[in-house]
Amino acid sequence: EVTLTSLRNGVPNGRNGVLAAPRPVPTLSLEEVRALLEELRTVSSSAKFQKDLQHLRSLDWGAFKKREAVAKLLSIFWKAPLRRFGFGIDGQGFPHLLQVVKANGQRLGIRLVCHEVEKQLRMVPG
């Protein structure tokens, strides 16, 4: 049974309402953060990703639905690199990724690659 207490102590994993224990944030070295971001940049630069992203952005959907669609697109294309570096492809994965990147984001090499990834996503760097 899913209760308020169980929701506070676990994260739904999407399978029959079963709760999974919160996963710890992966610990990456500076070089691993840079390597992960480089992989994400490469994947995001692919013709297929860019075509799919452009298609999503052209749809006459509201902002919330578009954000959900872009998140799904990222989970499909970024799945392998994220898993390789210890991130889940679930509700915890992206927040953990952002936490790790933010912790290293002011370092010059990291900031530059972050801006490149953001450009590929058609986001304002920063």
Which own/partner contact pairs does 63-71 have at CB distance under 8 Å and 24+ positions apart?
70/121
> What per-residue confidence (pLDDT) applies to 17?
56
pLDDT at 8: 42
Query: What residues of the chain score a pLDDT lower than 70?
Result: 1-20
105-108 LR contacts (CB < 8 Å, sep 24+): 107/30
Does this model's pTM top 0.75? yes
The whole-number pLDDT of residue 109 equals: 85
- Judge contact between 20 and 13, C-beta under 8 A: yes
Q: Which amino acid is at 58?
A: S
